[in-house]
């Protein structure tokens, strides 16, 4: 205990010494600033040290005087906005933040910090937040039913010829999707109550048994970790409620929970991690009479790391893993995978469309292993799949909240089970409305 007390006394003395040094430096800078009122470097250092000492009034008056000598400095306007934000003067903070954005050649890091503070101001003034996106489009697939490429397959060492309806068949479908997000500020150091609703529906021209309807709701609290020194970092927990219909009949439902980690360790990097547990129930129907054999739980997670390389380029890495438990070994599996992608933003080649376009390319691979052999296919070998994909997306904004997207994808699954090997190429066009 004596050692602890001595350590605490030493830390207190060190902090006092550091503060005394800052106070001395502040006083010295003040004397220089009075002699050289136009020296902006001295003024900026004085205001910065005053901020560290908690002397916000001195810092504010200095920054405001700097703007008299050199109007329109975005970094100074940013610092003024931050100070007024800390003092709770949100109108004054908003004025300086918006002034910083209106300056010519605003540094990217200044713009990102300003946008973050403006978002925080909006949240303080309006504790409830709602946003979303609605997508409507059409899609062509060369193998809509994910069937094998050929009619000849091997079942327990014997060759069979499949009916043409069970092999891979092309089709087109129309689809609509929506992703809605709501958040309520709990008023406790930035903690939120968040909810997300995802809905998707698709109708096929020929393969009507694939007509799909999906709804998933996640909801739970999200905690701001700035309270423990992790700025721009949140962790949340949430419940999961989902259901799927195929060919206008209930296919499966799931209940579960998850946790999400979101962090921006620096202005150019974002990290999103997610881990989930789901309990799934399947419903046997005339079209899918044995799917209840897949009843069980799923546990898995994903990690996405995105980095802004430049104003035009961003790159990302994706990692995933999951385990699916089932009643039968041949439906039970685990998988791991990874992907990489990049987005390139460029000036619109169409004069009437002023917003930048973007081109995104992603490729990935998944390895999947099943727990036991399917006796209808093999009595000795369990299924093993290698799945890969390449996807490209061109996005053309018509305005800030309305865009057109053209998506192309090639997906290939190679399996030691002939029935599970397939190739599917798809092209889709869609309109995206955000709000």
Start-end ranges of CATH 1.25.40.10 in the chain? 16-125
Percent of the chain at pLDDT > 70 equals: 92
pLDDT confidence band for 209 (50 / 70 / 90): very high
CATH 2.40.160.40 residue window(s) in the chain = 135-434
Say how far apart CA 335 and CA 369 lie, in whole Å: 6
Assess whether pLDDT exceeds 60 at residue 303: yes
Is the confidence at residue 154, as pLDDT, over 70? no
pLDDT at 63 over 90: no
Q: In Å, what is the CA distance from 423 to each residue of 145, 149, 182, 387?
A: 11, 7, 38, 10
Q: pLDDT tens digit string along 394-433?
A: 999 998 899 999 999 999 999 999 888 999 999 999 999 9
Considering only 57-71, 168-182, 352-366, which range has the smallest mean pLDDT? Answer: 57-71
Mean of pLDDT values over 199-211: 96
DSSP character string of 200-253 = EEEEESS-GGG-EEEEEEEEEEEEEGGGGT-TTEEEEEEEEEEEEEETTEEEEE
Residue 425 confidence (pLDDT): 97
Helices then strands, counting H and E runs in the chain, come out as: 6, 16
Q: Residue 146's closest CA among 387, 416, 393, 390?
A: 387
* pLDDT of the residue at 7: 47
Q: What is the CATH number of domain 135-434?
A: 2.40.160.40
| Total-model pTM | 0.73
pLDDT for the residue numbered 113: 86
**Taking all residues of the chain, what is their mean pLDDT, rounded to a whole number?**
89
CATH class for the region spanning 16-125: mainly alpha
**How many whole angstroms separate alpha carbon 40 and alpha carbon 399?**
40
Q: Over pLDDT 90: what percentage of the chain?
A: 54
Strand blocks (E) in 96-211: 128-141, 152-155, 158-161, 171-185, 192-204
- Whether the pLDDT of residue 5 is over 50: the answer is no
């Amino acid at each position: 205990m004596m050692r602890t007390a001595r350590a605490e006394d030493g830390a207190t003395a060190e902090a006092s010494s550091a503060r005394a040094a800052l106070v001395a430096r502040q006083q010295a800078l003040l004397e220089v600033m009075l002699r050289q009122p136009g020296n902006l470097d001295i003024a900026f250092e004085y205001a910065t040290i005053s901020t560290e000492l908690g002397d916000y009034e001195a810092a504010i008056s200095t920054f405001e005087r700097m703007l008299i000598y050199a109007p329109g400095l975005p970094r100074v306007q940013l610092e003024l906005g931050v100070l007024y934000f800390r003092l709770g003067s949100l109108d004054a903070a908003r004025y300086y933040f918006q002034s910083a954005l209106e300056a010519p050649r605003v540094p990217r890091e200044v713009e990102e910090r300003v946008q973050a503070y403006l978002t925080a101001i909006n949240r303080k003034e309006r504790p409830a937040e709602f946003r979303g996106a609605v997508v409507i489009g059409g899609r062509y697939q060369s193998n809509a039913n994910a069937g094998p490429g050929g009619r000849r397959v091997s079942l327990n060492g014997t060759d069979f010829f499949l009916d043409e309806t069970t092999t891979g068949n092309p089709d087109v479908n129309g689809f609509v999707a929506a992703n809605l997000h709501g958040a309520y500020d709990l008023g406790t150091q930035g903690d939120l109550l968040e909810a997300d609703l995802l809905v998707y529906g698709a109708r096929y021209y020929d393969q009507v048994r694939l007509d799909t309807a999906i709804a998933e709701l996640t909801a739970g609290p999200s905690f701001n970790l700035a309270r423990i020194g992790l700025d721009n970092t949140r962790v949340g927990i949430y419940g999961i409620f989902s259901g799927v219909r195929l060919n206008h009949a209930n296919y499966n439902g799931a209940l579960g929970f998850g946790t999400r980690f979101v962090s921006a360790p620096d202005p150019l990097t974002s990290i999103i991690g997610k881990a989930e547990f789901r309990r799934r129930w399947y419903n046997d129907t005339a079209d899918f009479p044995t799917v209840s054999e897949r009843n069980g739980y799923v546990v898995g997670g994903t990690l996405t790391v995105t980095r802004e390389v430049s104003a035009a380029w961003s790159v990302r890495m994706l990692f995933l893993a999951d385990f699916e438990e089932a009643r039968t070994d041949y439906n039970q599996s685990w998988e791991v995978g990874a992907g990489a992608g990049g987005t390139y933003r460029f000036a619109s080649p169409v004069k009437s469309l002023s917003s930048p376009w973007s081109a995104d390319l992603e490729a990935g691979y998944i390895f999947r292993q099943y727990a036991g052999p399917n006796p209808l296919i093999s009595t000795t070998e369990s299924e093993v799949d290698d799945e890969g994909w390449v996807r490209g997306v061109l996005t053309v904004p018509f305005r800030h909240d309305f865009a057109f997207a053209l998506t192309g994808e090639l997906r290939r699954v190679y399996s030691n089970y002939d029935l599970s090997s397939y190739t599917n190429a798809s092209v889709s066009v869609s309109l995206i409305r955000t709000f």
